[in-house]
Amino acid sequence: MGKWYGSVSDTVAVDIDRVWEIAEFGNLARWDPTSIESSEIVWGDGCSEGSTRCVVFRYSDGTPGSLYERITSYDPYNYTFTYVLDENPFGYENYESTFSLEDCGDGRTTVTWSFELDPMDDYDQDTIDACQIRKNTIWQRKLGSQAVRISTV
């Protein structure tokens, strides 16, 4: 079985340079304050390969959790970075995610977040598809709501 893939994107009415400015790797809590308690750089400068962040979150039952993500590719000229999960409580293996921006002109930017990971035992394609639909709905709502937050930050 091959890799599992997923992505979500949305276009916001904010200039690409402004979106990139606040898309700091160590500041994930700014993008998702309802799910993320904190996100801080624990190694590196946050804008180069090898930089690592610790993300602290709460599960839906209120239990705290954390994970560590590390940048493997950072390209500010093309408005993109890729990172991997070094430590995570979910059992994901070989998880890699990419955040990228595309200039649409007229002060609009398409924000895309995509991922891939190795398949996990005890899951079938129907479960994965249902999770993907739910994740896309949540992330599109969050990305869409960022237009207001970005323009006021």
- If one counts every other C-beta atom within 10 angstroms of the C-beta of residue 6, the result is 18
Q: Which candidate, 101, 108, 111, 39, places its Cα nearest to that of 76?
A: 101
Structure tokens at 74: 């950072």
Q: Mean of the pLDDT values across residues 11-19?
A: 91
Structure tokens at 98: 């990419």
The residue among 13 and 130 whose pLDDT is bigger is 13
pTM higher than 0.75 for the full model? yes
**Percent of the chain residues topping a pLDDT of 70:** 78
Longest dimension (CA), the chain: 46
User: For residues 21 and 6, what is the distance between their CA atoms, to the nearest angstrom?
Assistant: 25
Name which residue leads in pLDDT, 102 or 126. Answer: 102
Phi, psi of 45 (to 5 degrees): -105, 0
Q: Would you say residue 88 has pLDDT above 60?
A: yes
Structural class in CATH, domain 4-152:
alpha beta
